[in-house]
Structure 1
């Protein structure tokens, strides 16, 4: 690696404000804010609106609408009945 061209990789505390969850992840994110963590160390701090702790897909609260299969959708769209006639 060439020296001086890569951003600093460090531990950053992310705060998901929608569910008030904190987590530490390695990141190159630039931020001027800091926070003291549970271990007594001071880390860079960044707030988020959505993370895996609050996003419906990752929390399992996403609503999935079950729809007809492709053949049924085709038949409904083009007016075919179950016997195959219009």
Structure 2
């Protein structure tokens, strides 16, 4: 590997803003904010919108889908099958 061309990799905490989930890993991401990690050291912190702790795919939670009225709206726009014959 050539020296001086690669970014510096260091421990960084990724924090889910919604659930408070924290993940300490190595990254090249820079951050001005810091937080004290579980190991007692201060690490840069990056806030993320979603993580496995809060994402519906990983938690098994599903969003409610409003299906009532979809058929009626379709039939109003395009007519019923009997009317199209």
Q: How would you bin the TM-score normalised by the shorter chain?
A: 0.5 to 0.7
SS at match of 1:5: coil
List structure 1 segments (4+ residues) > 3 angstroms apart after TM superposition. none
The 3 A distance-change label for structure 1 pair 22 and 2 is same
- Which TM-score applies when normalising by structure 1? 0.65
Q: May I ask how many residue pairs the two structures share in their alignment?
A: 65
Distance (Å, rounded) in 2 between the aligned partners of 1:50 and 1:11: 20
Extract unaligned runs of 5+ from structure 2: 64-80
Extract unaligned runs of 5+ from structure 1: 64-78, 80-86
Give the corresponding residue for 2:42. 42
- Which TM-score applies when normalising by structure 2? 0.66
Give the corresponding residue for 2:57. 57
The structure whose residues are more often helix, as a share, is 2
